[in-house]
Amino acid sequence: MLQKIEETTSWLQEKLDFSPEVGIVLGTGLGGLVNEIDILLSIDYKQIPNFPVSTVDGHHGKLIFGRLGNKKVIAMKGRFHYYEGYDMQEIIFPIRVMKKLGISYLFLSNASGGVNPDYEIGDLMILKDHINLLPNPLIGKHYPEYGNRFPDMSETYPISLIDKAEAIAQKKEIKVQKGVYTATTGPTFETLAEYKYFRIIGSDAVGMSTVPETIAAHQMGIPCFAISIITDLGVPGKIETVSHESVQEVANKAEVKMTLIMKELICEL
């Protein structure tokens, strides 16, 4: 794995004349932030040595390099999921490469189902913590180059970044929630009993991504900030039939607010 990461990093460095400061992972229907980037280089995943290829609608499969405000960034327009058949090492591979390229922060977004009865469709939820029901990406051979074998996870999402994001949202008059995101395997949406279970164990929203990348980044000492767009509700009395298309539709409508917060926050780093 180390050799593949080195190969991919070297291949990308040959095409770049700068080292990115911030990594960005854009989830389902959330590629709009790319429009705010002054793009210097865009590469299809399939062109990059050792890189996985996204197979999900709404994930375009491009690695974007450029400037967002005053920061040099690398953005994944489309991520990889466990339910696509990738193993955890493949899912976190791009994050390992981003670290080698030089990032100091990682920003993540996703579409998720809300299980908090106070949430509404289209709400933004800033992640304050998570519950991982996916295989842990650190299982297997340990590479000291990545950090501690047993990383502390007591503050996975730094309070300082959350406070800054809340201040930006308040200034821009954008409603935001703060909550706990639970990651599951997918690809099925949840049953009624599962929705109830997730709420009982402390979840505010549930999705199929984000946590593996966060764990890998956290092990390497990279502060993470993440936002979920609540695209459906698993709340008694508010549950409706969900489809991937409906999730994309809600995400597309709400991403303008998410983009504004993330852009402002990145520029303040």
* 152-162 pLDDT tens trace: 999 999 999 99
* 89-138 pLDDT tens trace: 999 999 999 999 999 999 999 989 999 999 988 899 999 999 999 999 99
Q: Is the pLDDT of residue 30 over 60?
A: yes
What would the mean pLDDT of 234-238 be, rounded to a whole number? 76
CA 95 – CA 137 distance, rounded (Å):
12
Q: What percent of the chain has pLDDT over 70?
A: 91
* 193-219 pLDDT tens trace: 999 999 999 999 999 999 999 999 999
Q: Which two tokens stand for residue 218?
A: 């956290």
Measured in whole angstroms, how far is the alpha carbon of residue 118 from the centre of its chain? 23
User: C-alpha distances in angstroms, 140 versus 7, 8, 143, 158, 211?
Assistant: 21, 21, 9, 27, 17
At the top level of CATH, which class does the domain 2-268 belong to? alpha beta
Q: Is the pLDDT of residue 60 over 70?
A: no
Instruction: Identify any residues that bridge with 22 across adjacent strands, giving them in sequence order.
Output: 73, 105
Are the CB atoms for 208 and 89 separated by under 8 Å? no
What would the mean pLDDT of 240-253 be, rounded to a whole number? 67
Tokens 């405000």 found at: 69
CA 240 – CA 234 distance, rounded (Å):
8
Cis ω for the linkage preceding 144 (within 30 of 0): no
Map out the domains of the chain as residue ranges.
2-268
What would the mean pLDDT of 171-200 be, rounded to a whole number? 94
Least confident of 40-54, 57-71, 209-223, 243-257: 243-257
